[in-house]
Structure 1
Amino acid sequence: MKKSLLYLVLLLSVISCTNYYTVLLEEDTPLYPSSNSETSTTVIPKGTQVYLSSKPNRKNYRRIKWGNYYGCANNPQHSTYSNYTKTSSYNSPTISSGSSYNSGSSSGGSVSVRGYTRKDGTYVRPHTRSAPRRR
């Protein structure tokens, strides 16, 4: 029973995932809160870089993420699909040891993990986690 419930949850989480791509809009695009809305929240100017969902819904609307805005656009004209975002907000870090431990802790405590880039190109920001337990 528990296994079938776990499989169902995993299946639903995979189905509900939406891929977003970085695109450049070729025309001014009105942004709607949902595909059923008649009035637009804002208009995204031509030449703006946004995140666009890979698949349109039944009404040919696509989800858009732009700055603090999130909504739908009706068949937006765009160019330059890319799977990875080119940002200049961080430099690609060099990983020498993988993580730096707090000095003076023999066991327990927390570990400061440096930022790193995964194999799929996503960047993981620096964070802290609990230290591995020593035997």
Structure 2
Amino acid sequence: MNAKNLILIFLLFLISCSSSRYYECKLESPLVVYDNLHLSKTICTIPAGNTFVIGKSVKRKRSINYMSFSGYAEDLRFRKVKRLPDYKFVSPDMASSSVGAQSTAVYTSNTGSIKGSGSSSSSSSSSSSGGNVQVKGYYRKNGSYVSPHVRSAPRRH
């Protein structure tokens, strides 16, 4: 081999080592995501058919990113939808150390939605001034649920 071929092989090797191996995946059954490699505490359950991102495999476990949750799952055969070369994967260890303790998410089968302490959804319609505003129910960051209610509209000065 000449020097050009060796340089080309070396460059290809460097590129392949530095490229990310993150994939967007989808499962046909729900997937339980845990907070650590011991699979001791559930942080969320990914409903069947939803997409999530898998990272590297560690001790027969896969690192998982789903919505605002980062954790581990048993290393199953995931159906890879597409490769994500520029994805910024949040390590479960980094997520738990920077946020503190992660909280759990609950999948409600009747509405088909995921509610967790990391996400909140509130919506309100406002009038020009005065009157009442209908506020939809939402989850607070501490996990408590606020029922739908009516409040007075903000005053504009």
Is TM (by shorter chain) over 0.5? no
With structure 2 as the length reference, what TM-score do the two structures score? 0.39
Q: Which has the larger radius of gyration?
A: 2
Kindly indicate which of the two structures has a greater share of residues assigned to helix. 2
With structure 1 as the length reference, what TM-score do the two structures score? 0.44
